[in-house]
Amino acid sequence: MLTSPLISVIVIAHDRQGGLEGCLQSILCQSFKDVEVVVVADESPECRPAVVEAFARSDERVSLVRLDGVVGVGRVRNAGADRATGRYLLFLDTDHILWDGTLQAMADRLRTCDEPDVLLLGHTRLHKGRSWPGAAAELLAGLDSRPFDPADRPELLGAPAYVWDRLIRRDFWAAQALSFPEGLHEEVAVVHRALLAADRVAALKWDCVQIRRRHTQHPAGSPGATHFDVFDRYEESFGLLGEYARTEAAPFLFTRMVRHHLFLLHLSGCLARSERPQFFRRASEQYQRFVPGGYERPQGREGVKFQLVAGGGYGAFQSARIPQLARGVLSRP
C-alpha cells in the first residue's frame, strides 16, 4: 500500500476452528477499503500461512508476518503491531468476524470524534447458535455520545479486558510503549494501561465484532503459560492505579479481578483438580491484599462467592459448588 491506511487489523493466524477464511472475508469484503490486514503466523501446526498467502495474492491490503518457532499470543500480537502502518490498531483472532458496514461506522466515528486515543466497540458472542450481547453492553450503552476523559468513567475498569473490542491509536500505542506480555491473560494489563493513560476515549454503540469461539482458551495458547499468570496481570493493573493516581477506580477493578478469578475456578477443564486449591489460595490472597476500604460486595449468590474467596476456605467454597454441579449434571439431556 502506498499510503498509510486508517485502520490496521492484526489477525493471529492460529486457526483451531477453521475460521480464518471467514474472518478475513468479513474484513476485506466491506465497502470501506482504507484498511490493511496484517496476519501473523508462527510455526505452530494450527497456523495456515498458505491460506493467508492466497488472500495476499488477490488483495494487496493483506500481508503475512512469519515468526520462527512456536511463540505465545503476546509475541504474535506485538509482531503485528510492529508491522502495522495504520493510524489505528484492531486486534482480532480467527474466530472473530466483523459485521457488514462496521469498518465504515468506525471510520465515521473516528472522524466525528476527532480521532480519540481509544474507540470502544460493541460485540456479541455466538454460543449454541444464539447471539448473546457482550458483557459490557450495558456499560457501553450508558456512555456519552461525545468523547470523554476516561478518568470521569472509572467503571470502565470493571469491564472485561478484551483488546478486540476497541481501536487503539497507533501513535498512542507507541508513545505509551504498550506491548503484550508473555503468558496467558495477556490483554488485562495492556487494556487497563491504555484506559488509564488515554486522554480521550469515545464509543461506537454498534455490535461490530462477533466472537465464535467454541473453546474458552485463546486459540493461540502460549508455550509454558498457565492460568496462574492471571495473578501477575492484576498485580500490574493495581500497580497502574497507583502510578496514574486513580484510586477511585479500585472498587471497579477489584470486582473485575474477583469475577475473573471465579470464572476460571468455575470453568470446566480450565484448572486441573490438583491446581484448584492453590489457585483458590492465590485468589484469596489477592482479595485480601487489594480489597478497597469500605468495599461492598455484589448482592445475591455472587456476593456469597466473593465472601467465600475473602474467607480463604477452599473446603467451604467446594461445598458451595456441589449443588451447582449436581444441577448441571441432572439438567443434561
Residues 186-245: tens digit of each pLDDT = 999 999 999 999 999 999 999 999 998 655 555 555 667 899 999 999 999 999 999 999
The DSSP letter of residue 93 is: -
Q: Using DSSP, state whether 137 is helix, strand or coil.
A: helix
The DSSP letter of residue 183 is: S
Residue spans of the domains in the chain: they are 7-211, 229-330
Q: Report, as an integer, the average pLDDT of 48-52.
A: 89
The DSSP letter of residue 159 is: S
Q: Using DSSP, state whether 16 is helix, strand or coil.
A: coil
Residue 300: CB partners within 8 Å, gap ≥ 6? none
What is the predicted pLDDT for the residue at 329? 33
What is the predicted pLDDT for the residue at 196? 97
What is the predicted pLDDT for the residue at 328? 40
Q: Report, as an integer, the average pLDDT of 256-285.
A: 94
Longest dimension (CA), the chain: 62
Long-range contacts of 213-216 (CB under 8 A, 24+ apart): 213/17, 213/93, 213/95, 214/17, 214/95, 215/16, 215/17, 216/267, 216/270
What is the rounded CA–CA span in Å between residue 113 and residue 22? 30
What is the predicted pLDDT for the residue at 326? 36
What is the predicted pLDDT for the residue at 325? 38
What is the predicted pLDDT for the residue at 318? 86
Strand partners, 9: 37, 90
**Nearest CA among 302, 271, 180 for reference residue 233:** 180
Q: Are the C-beta atoms of 212 and 97 separated by less than 8 Å?
A: yes
What is the predicted pLDDT for the residue at 1? 53
Lowest mean pLDDT of 131-135, 183-187, 208-212, 328-332, name the range. 328-332
Lowest mean pLDDT of 18-22, 23-27, 163-167, 199-203, name the range. 18-22
Lowest mean pLDDT of 14-28, 114-128, 170-184, 206-220, name the range. 206-220
What is the predicted pLDDT for the residue at 144? 85
Strand partners, 63: 38
**What is the pTM assigned to this prediction?**
0.92
Cα dihedral 96, 264, 134, 235 sign: negative
Q: What is the 3-state secondary structure (H, E, C) of 43-69?
A: CCCCECHHHHHHHHHHCCCEEEEECCC
Looking at the domain covering 7-211, what would its CATH class be? alpha beta
Q: Are the C-beta atoms of 220 and 93 separated by less than 8 Å?
A: yes
User: Does residue 165 register a pLDDT over 60?
Assistant: yes
Cα 328 to chain centroid distance, Å, stands at 28
CA triplet 22, 83, 203: central angle to 5 degrees? 65
User: Does residue 84 register a pLDDT over 90?
Assistant: yes
Residue 232: CB partners within 8 Å, gap ≥ 6? 181, 183
What is the predicted pLDDT for the residue at 280? 97
What is the predicted pLDDT for the residue at 215? 52
Q: Are the C-beta atoms of 303 and 297 separated by less than 8 Å?
A: yes
User: Does residue 331 register a pLDDT over 80?
Assistant: no
Cα 64 to chain centroid distance, Å, stands at 23
Query: In 244-296, which ranges are continuous DSSP H helix?
Result: 250-266, 276-290
What is the predicted pLDDT for the residue at 332? 36
From residue 320, give the alpha-carbon distance in Å to each of 64, 80, 258, 283, 289. Answer: 49, 44, 17, 17, 24
Q: Report, as an integer, the average pLDDT of 121-136.
A: 88
Lowest mean pLDDT of 54-58, 84-88, 320-324, name the range. 320-324
Q: Report, as an integer, the average pLDDT of 21-29.
A: 96
